[in-house]
Amino acid sequence: MMIFVPHHSIIFFLLLLLFCASTTFESIISTEIDHQPNKPNEELKLVFLFHRHGERTPYQLYPNDPFKDNITNTVGIGQLINKGKRRLYHLGQYLSKRYYNQNDGGNHFPIEKKSPRNVYVRSSGSERCLQSVTLLLAGMFPPENQWKWMNDSLGSLWQPIAIQTVPFDYDSLLNPDYKCPFAEHILNNEIYQSKEAKNITKKYRNLFEKLSNWTGYRLNEMNLVNAACIYDILLSEHNFDLPSPEWLNDNIWNELKIINDYVFQFNSTSRKIQRFRCGAIFGEIFHRLNTHFGNDSQSSSSANDRRHQIYIYSTHDEWLAQFLASMKVYNGIPPSFGSTIMLEVYQNSQINEPYFKGFYLNSTETESVYPLQFPDCLQPCTLTKFRESIKDLIVENPKQLVEQECFVEIKKYL
């Protein structure tokens, strides 16, 4: 019988191995858990949060999956499950404690400014992301004082908070698979045709033959990406308390996990892919920063934005991996459910310019937050230095990126 090792339970161990070993990754995630207080005269000004949704059912099923009816006739394909709902609610409670609990040490926003009007929320159009961030907000901003809107339990536990989104297929901000033929060409014809990818495919050829017999995929359909999908399906069914198939054992599971790790690396390491998938968010971040600190900070049109202290973005694991990789801090471990990247903006009287600090919460159970050490933007990582480190990725006009580069650039390869 297959013995599953929960994904979160091996995160810290693998993190230490990756940090200590000599690897080809340019990333560094500090193994020092963030418990230290901030520096004197250091004031927290803004926070950008990027989180993965909670546990879900599989977003696709293999051809002869025995649980098709169990999933499609109950929760549905790719839908948030109760375990994921609890995780995101508790994540919201943790974030509330981190940014508003005045007795927890470190730096926080003034508790009197804890207001749903001071948070901006943007979600992927996926239902599981919208539901996840709704639960996160419920945990982070329970109605208090004037925000209690009814004298019953509901009015004291939950309040409506606006969530911005666009249709999933057209979301160039938070959908890691939005339609971009040029990006797809790079993946299919360059990255997955590389010598490294071909060698890995050759290594697992016998496994692919077995998977084809077990899952119903045709042999010519079996590749690294579909093997990673099978891993995701099995993990999601396990989280949904469905039994493992008889053919699954520890060796098969470990091989599938390794393949899944490779696929995340292949999908994240290309600078071109990073620009297509994360360039728009960098443009958005600096637009927000300019509203608060730059030339736009005094304009009347920016007054509404300037009240925001926290910007929350609800997205997917592949997007988070690409975002980490774009800042050269991806450690090769796919982000687990609820994983959260925190970019915090500070001001200090001794430094002439606001600066970033980055943190990564990759295990919501332990609430262990690890400082991100940006190799191209050493501390203090001022806004100018950070922009310089990712200037080749910034997209200020996502519509132009999609219409001109995603579709026009591909013509030279046809």
- Superfamily of chain region 7-181+299-349: Phosphoglycerate mutase-like (3.40.50.1240)
Element (H or E) spanning 210, and its range?
A: helix 205-215
Nearest to 104 by CA among 92, 116, 94: 94
Q: Place 9 in a pLDDT band, splitting at 50, 70 and 90.
A: very low
Q: Give the number of other Cβ atoms within 10 Å of residue 90's Cβ.
A: 18
Per residue in 373-400, pLDDT tens?
Answer: 999 999 999 999 999 999 999 999 998 8
Q: What is the mean pLDDT of the chain?
A: 88
- Angle, vertex CA 265, rays to CA 133 and CA 32, nearest 5: 65
The rounded distance, in Å, linking the Cα atoms of 88 and 336 is 12
Residue 34: name the closest of 295, 314, 398, 357 by CA.
357
- For 42, the 3-state DSSP assignment is strand
Tens of pLDDT, residue by residue over 359-368, are 999 988 888 8
Domain boundary assignment for the chain:
7-181+299-349
Most distant CA pair in the chain, distance? 65
What is the C-alpha separation between 239 and 245, in angstroms, rounded? 14
Contacts with 196 (C-beta within 8 Å, 6 or more apart), sequence order? none
What would the DSSP string read from start to end of 286-348?
HHHHHHHHSGGGG-GGGHHHHT--EEEEEE-HHHHHHHHHHTT---SPPPPTT-EEEEEEEEE
pTM for this prediction = 0.89
